[in-house]
Amino acid sequence: MLVTLAAVICGADGWNDVEKFSKAKIDELRKYLPFENGIPSDDTLRRFFRRIDPGKFKEKFIAWVRTIKLPPGNVIAIDGKVSRHSFSDDKSALHMVSAFASEARLVLAQTSVSEKSNEITAIPTLLDWLDLRGAIVTIDAMGCQRDISEKIINSGGDYILALKGNQSSLHEDIALLFADKELERDEFVSSAEEVDGDHGRIETRQCRWLLMPKILKEQHNWPGLRTIIEISATREIKKTGETSKEKRYYISSLGKDAGKLNSTIRSHWAIENSLHYILDVSFRDDDSRIRLGNAPENIGIIKHVALNMLQANKQKRDSIKGLRKIAAWDHNRMHQILNQKF
């Protein structure tokens, strides 16, 4: 476990990398454990991680994360990711659903999706492991389910759920409501606009929200639902001048101002930019050839541990990719990352 975690922090991508890194760094690793029989071979590492119970490993991960203090009102984004090359002859690629603290940039928990299931069945299990008191949970349209919203409310949290065709009746009613030209006269309507320029594009997002009308609230009977939200996004490509427009709808148990709702919805994408993207680009997760037994899920958890430790140690100008190199080159920085207290 130690050699694998240290190696992954320092840039290792597979079992051969872990063995070679650990043999090169054995004197540094002996500051933690004696390694009387030397470093395990890559075959030993393979067998070891194939046999570890990922359920027990997840329990240990979550117990560790619970020692980390998060600010009140933190946003917990939930989303899934497939490790595309982790399939084998008799097993599909690993599909992991993760809970991510958007502001702290920390993975809070994760669970795999059964081959014969989907994220809808995995999300409630994930929620059971989280302390949701005072948190705002954001989930894309796949997780827009009554049972999920009820579980969040019963656990002391709030939710913002993306709304699409999977809840067609509710989606249609809310779209028609926001299309009403008399809406601006409603005293409960509020709006906020946000402009963002990045990656060669300018995106303007206008957020409008209102309290769920009583007649629709009774008709749909959605647990904890207080607020409905419309995001009107206009995107302009700087180079070509092309523009595109899109309206997205959300439901929420919150009743706060539109500016907060807008920024909270936007913060959901931190799970894409600060978790999934980093796993793909910095950890080369989609290229991983670790495929057999429990090893894909267990190495996925190791990567989450490593990413949490790197994020906590990252300084202003560091990237995760760059910090992994620094940790490999600088023994003091590697020890600093491994020994840090959260």
CA distances from 130 to 74, 223, 252, 317 (A): 12, 19, 19, 31
Inside any domain, residue 31: no
Residue with tokens 């002859």: 89
Tokens of 120: 């809808």
Inside any domain, residue 34: no
Q: Is residue 218's pLDDT more than 80?
A: yes
Determine the average pLDDT of the residues in 201-228: 86
Tokens of 58: 């997840």
Determine the average pLDDT of the residues in 295-319: 93
Distance of CA 18 to the CA centre of its chain: 26
Inside any domain, residue 242: yes
Strand, helix or coil for residue 204: strand
pLDDT of residue 51: 95
User: Which tens digit of pLDDT belongs to each residue from 80-103?
Assistant: 888 776 666 566 778 889 999 998
Q: Is residue 204's pLDDT more than 90?
A: no
**CA nearest neighbour of 334 among 1, 35, 11:** 11
CA distances from 323 to 67, 297, 335 (A): 24, 24, 13
The pLDDT confidence band at residue 187, using thresholds 50, 70 and 90, is very low
The pLDDT confidence band at residue 119, using thresholds 50, 70 and 90, is confident
Inside any domain, residue 54: no
> Domain limits at 171?
153-253
Per DSSP (E only), the strands in the chain are 75-82, 95-101, 106-112, 136-139, 158-163, 190-198, 201-211, 227-237, 243-252
Q: What is the pTM of this model?
A: 0.87
Q: For 80-89, 216-225, 294-303, 331-340, which range has the lowest pLDDT when averaged over its residues? A: 80-89
Q: For 69-78, 136-145, 167-176, which range has the lowest pLDDT when averaged over its residues? A: 69-78
pLDDT of residue 336: 96
Inside any domain, residue 325: no
Q: For 35-39, 64-68, 199-203, which range has the lowest pLDDT when averaged over its residues? A: 199-203
**CA nearest neighbour of 215 among 173, 278, 152:** 173
pLDDT of residue 339: 94
Largest CA distance in the chain: 77
pLDDT of residue 100: 94
Per DSSP (E only), the strands in 175-317 are 190-198, 201-211, 227-237, 243-252
Q: Tell which wins on pLDDT, 341 or 221.
A: 221
The pLDDT confidence band at residue 211, using thresholds 50, 70 and 90, is confident
Inside any domain, residue 179: yes
Give the H or E element holding residue 171: helix 168-179
pLDDT of residue 250: 94
CB count, 10 Å around CB of 83? 23
Whole-number Å distance between alpha carbons of 165 and 146: 15
pLDDT of residue 116: 60
User: Which tens digit of pLDDT belongs to each residue from 150-183?
Assistant: 999 999 999 999 998 778 899 999 998 888 866 6
Whole-number Å distance between alpha carbons of 247 and 135: 26
Query: How many domains does the chain contain in total?
Result: 1
pLDDT of residue 87: 62
Question: Using an 8 Å Cβ cutoff, are 135 and 74 in contact?
Answer: yes
Inside any domain, residue 304: no
CB count, 10 Å around CB of 220? 16
User: Which tens digit of pLDDT belongs to each residue from 227-286?
Assistant: 999 988 888 877 777 888 889 999 999 986 767 888 898 888 888 888 988 999 899 888
Share of the chain above pLDDT 90, in %: 53
pLDDT of residue 75: 93
Highest-scoring range by mean pLDDT, 27-41, 103-117, 120-134 = 27-41
The pLDDT confidence band at residue 203, using thresholds 50, 70 and 90, is confident
**CA nearest neighbour of 228 among 194, 195, 193, 265:** 265
CB count, 10 Å around CB of 243? 12
Question: Using an 8 Å Cβ cutoff, are 162 and 250 in contact?
Answer: yes
Inside any domain, residue 209: yes
Strand, helix or coil for residue 96: strand
